Amino acid sequence: MSDALIVVDVQNDFCPGGALAVPEGDAVVPVLNAYLARATAAGLPIYASRDWHPQRTAHFASFGGPWPVHCVRDTSGAAFHPALQLPPATSLVTKGTSERDEGYSAFEGTLPDGRDLATALRAAGVSRVYVGGLATDYCVRATVLAARKDGFVVIWLRDASRAVEVRSGDGARAAAEMLAAGATAGTLADFHPVS
């Protein structure tokens, strides 16, 4: 079994002070940095997803969607949190790029070479993924569920994820849904990756 680490949407707009801030969203950064260091030392492939929205999209409330304007491509809000220590070899997964695309799951995105994430993971021989980031109840949840649907073993990094909690309890409901789909909840203490 070969592993990969997927870091989901740790972008400025999802952190305190951002346009769609997740409460304590920046608290995932030091924890993810520890995962990134261990994954790098183990030689794991690392993927980092980002929302990369156009200025006009049905995703935003101003055009009929549920969300305030956030993570507009090439803006500071769409940049990764400055303290996030992504290694140079990290593969970037860009999602939410069209006017109709919600782009919750990293598996909806594409790599710079045009491949989707599932194709890239299989090409790298990956069968198990570790997933953490922002937000537990939206993009992390969607990524975990898509990974399970695509046949990957999934460890959800509960210590490296935070929920936006549009409705109270959304984070707990998302956790229950991910576990019901066959994912396992893990923490840094359980992280023993295999390359």
CB 138 within 8 A of CB 171: no
CA distance 177 to 183: 9
Look up residue 116 and give its DSSP letter: B
Residue 95: active-site member: yes
Instruction: Name the catalytic one among 9, 26, 137, 159.
Output: 9
Give the residues across from 48 on adjacent strands: 7, 92
Instruction: Name the catalytic one among 3, 15, 26, 139.
Output: 139
Could you write out the DSSP letters of every residue in 30-54?
HHHHHHHHHHHHHT--EEEEEE-B-
Instruction: Print burial letters for 17-33: b (CB count within 10 Å at least 16), e (below 16).
Output: ebbbbbeebbbbbebbb
Instruction: Name the catalytic one among 13, 26, 71, 95.
Output: 95
Give the catalytic positions in this structure: 9, 95, 139
